[in-house]
Structure 1
Amino acid sequence: KTVFTYLSGGEKSIFIDWNGTDENGKELPAGTYYYICEVVFDVVDPSKQKNTLKGWVQLIR
């Protein structure tokens, strides 16, 4: 349900709280879902500014 990211020192930096619903608030059924997350970093080198993360998450009800 909650995705946490941590800095290299172990400090929690951001989190995403997803409650297993779609954009209309309707509960999604249990299953495996594919995600794509585009992350934008505040860096000096523009070529390293964006990173795309992809993976799978399993929703268990």
Structure 2
Amino acid sequence: MKRQKTHPTHQDPVCGMEVSYTTAADEFTLRGKTYYFCSGACREAFEVEPARYIRPHRQHGVGPS
């Protein structure tokens, strides 16, 4: 039996669905990072208000500012 090659998955930042770059319905690049989406509607919601869906990055041991 031949194993299928799997692609890494990414979480749609709007709805949380797991998608890979090969199965994503849409994508959007913001500040050099590409986000993948399950639908155009999720991409549109993200594009209008990305700060609502992006979790702030926190380094270990550093509290929120």
**Could you say which TM-score interval applies, normalised by the shorter chain?**
under 0.3
User: Normalized per residue, which structure has more strand?
Assistant: 1
TM-score by length of 2: 0.27
User: Normalized per residue, which structure has more helix?
Assistant: 2
TM-score by length of 1: 0.27
